[in-house]
């Protein structure tokens, strides 16, 4: 991440499981081009990355900053601004995390 970019940090280890993905997707939805979200987790966030790749193709890129075995850190950045008039709903994660979204 360059100095011109800014990052928000979420440590999901301290967030109740059912609230993790909704909080992450809410933060990702608020990112603008050049901003990123850093996530700290107690497991490999591959399911989250799969959801990003399939539900929001071409909108986000990611890089592992640390890869376990006890802590995973990931930087997810917005690759491009959404097209004007596009209202992608990033409030839900469409998974089985138990969240009522």
**Structural domain boundaries in the chain:** 6-78
CATH classification (class only), 6-78: alpha beta
User: Which pLDDT tens digit goes with each residue over 64-88?
Assistant: 999 999 999 999 999 975 455 555 5
> Model pTM greater than 0.85?
no
The set of residues, in sequence order, having a beta carbon less than 8 Å from that of 4 and lying 6+ positions away, is: 34
Rg (CA), the chain: 13
The 10 Å Cβ neighbour count of residue 29 is: 14
User: Which pLDDT tens digit goes with each residue over 18-46?
Assistant: 999 999 999 999 999 989 999 999 999 99
């Amino acid at each position: 991440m360059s100095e011109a970019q800014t990052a928000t940090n979420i440590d999901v280890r301290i967030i109740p499981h059912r609230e993790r993905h909704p909080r992450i997707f809410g933060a990702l939805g608020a990112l603008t081009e050049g901003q990123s979200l850093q996530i700290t987790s107690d497991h490999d966030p591959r399911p989250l990355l799969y959801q990003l790749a399939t539900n929001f193709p071409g909108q986000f890129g990611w890089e592992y900053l640390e890869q376990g075995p006890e802590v995973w850190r990931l930087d997810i950045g917005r690759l491009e601004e959404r097209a004007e008039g596009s209202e992608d709903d990033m409030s839900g994660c469409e998974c089985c995390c138990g969240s009522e979204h």
